[in-house]
Amino acid sequence: MTDAGLIMKNEDGRIRDRFHNRLMFPIRDTRGRTVAFSGREMDGSQPKYINSPQTAIFDKSGTIYGIDMAASAIRTKDMAVIVEGYMDVIMAHQYGYNNVVASMGTAITEKHINILKKLTKNIALALDPDKAGEEAMTHSVDYENTAEVEIMVVTLPADEDPDEVIKRDPKIWEAAIANAGPLAEYMVNFTASKFDLSKTTEKSKLISQLIPVIAKVQNNLRRDRWIKDAV
């Protein structure tokens, strides 16, 4: 149980339940085998979520939450939608959007992309527009290159998580997925929003920030799209 990360020792050597008084989310691999857990606090304690540690059967960087339940729908719809949270996945599936999975945080890895590209070449990211989400988008430029997948970005109403959007109005979620835009377009617009483009100096700063990203794009057509959006 210690090796599996279910129990742990205190500083005084006493054993305690790692997930005491937490709502449990089983994490399964592609074959539906439970390999880890995540526990959400029920009493206001911190951290909000505790995950199983890295073990012989659990590699967070190579595990996708909900993949065992979503694989068939991903193949059928030829698209995988990546969200951040467990509840986002559960609510999506509850409403019939069964091609939704989570990376258990915004740290999307090449391993995650390689698992998904066996099912589809089309991946849509529905992540929070914050610093962590921005970093995930930036890393995705590399994944488009190495994995040769098409990555789209889903824009949701401000300050709403996917599960909140779906519960409020499923049609808004459907429209957001249908209108997902290219990663290039999103990254250019998101980066541009940080600058006052009425000033020449600010435009120069924007271009300077985008050039290293565009330079990494290997596909000629995709690179042309980046340049067009930037201009």
pLDDT tens per residue, range 61-83: 999 999 999 999 999 999 999 99
Let me know if residue 231 belongs to a domain: no
pLDDT bin (cut points 50, 70, 90) of residue 94 is very high
CATH number of the CATH domain containing 43: 3.90.980.10
126 and 169 assigned to the same domain: yes
Domain, as residue range, for 119: 67-181
Comparing CA positions, the residue from 193, 107, 121 lying closest to residue 152 is: 121
**pLDDT at residue 89 greater than cutoff 90:** yes
Let me know if residue 214 belongs to a domain: no
20 and 86 assigned to the same domain: no
The answer to whether 153 and 179 have CB atoms below 8 angstroms apart is no
Let me know if residue 113 belongs to a domain: yes
11 and 90 assigned to the same domain: no
Q: Considering its fold, how many domains does the chain have in total?
A: 2
pLDDT tens per residue, range 211-230: 877 777 777 777 787 777 77
109 and 85 assigned to the same domain: yes
In which region does residue 207 sit, left (phi positive, over 0), alpha (psi from -120 to 50) or beta (all else)?
A: alpha
pTM for this structure?
Answer: 0.87
For the ranges 41-50, 54-63, 178-187, 192-201, which has the lowest average pLDDT? 192-201
Let me know if residue 2 belongs to a domain: no
82 and 24 assigned to the same domain: no
Q: How far apart are CA 145 and CA 220, in angstroms?
A: 11
pLDDT tens per residue, range 125-161: 998 766 666 677 777 777 877 778 889 999 888 888 8
Let me know if residue 105 belongs to a domain: yes
What does the H/E/C string look like for the chain? CCCCCCEEECCCCCEEECCCCEEEEEEECCCCCEEEEEEEECCCCCCCEEECCCCCCCCHHHCCECHHHHHHHHHHHCCEEEECCHHHHHHHHHCCCCCEEECCCCCCCHHHHHHHCCCCCEEEECCCCCHHHHHHHHHHHHHHHHHCCEEEECCCCCCCCHHHHHHHCHHHHHHHHHCCEEHHHHHHHHHHCCCCCCCHHHHHHHHHHHHHHHHCCCCHHHHHHHHHHHC
Let me know if residue 213 belongs to a domain: no
